[in-house]
Amino acid sequence: MGWASSSIEKLKAGETVSFRPRGNSMRGKVESGQLCTVEPVDPSTLEVGDIVLCKVNGREYLHLVKAIQGPRFQIGNNRGRINGWISAGGIFGRCVKIED
């Protein structure tokens, strides 16, 4: 169970969620503690640069879609780190609003 598990369950049920992630890996796009609103998403509508709530290798992230290759999505942070490639099943929602 990770920091976003309850939000992921709500997104799977079709609900929109809001939370305040902590950390600096997305600095410049999402500052630590900002309120992020995430909506369920159809992965076929995702584009490079979208911020998504996802799970990569068992860890939960609010990170960027860095590349799309067929049915796979490369996930990484805003500081140059790549988390890895995942399928659409590992993406639970897209961040649609960021506020203080």
What is the overall mean pLDDT for the chain? Answer: 97
**Count of all residues that appear for the chain in the document:** 100
Please give the tally of structural domains in the chain: 1
- Domain range for 78 is 5-99
| Calpha distance 26→9 (Å, rounded) | 23
> 23: helix, coil or strand?
coil
| Calpha distance 88→21 (Å, rounded) | 22
CATH number (domain holding residue 19): 2.10.109.10
* 7 φ/ψ angles, rounded to the nearest 5 degrees: -65, -40
Question: What's the average model confidence in pLDDT over 4-11?
Answer: 97
pLDDT band at 28 (very low <50, low <70, confident <90, very high): very high
Task: Count other C-beta atoms under 10 Å from residue 64's C-beta.
Answer: 25
Confidence check: pLDDT of 66 > 80: yes
pLDDT at position 1: 76
Tokens 């640069």 belong to residue: 49
Q: How far is CA 48 from the centre of its chain?
A: 12
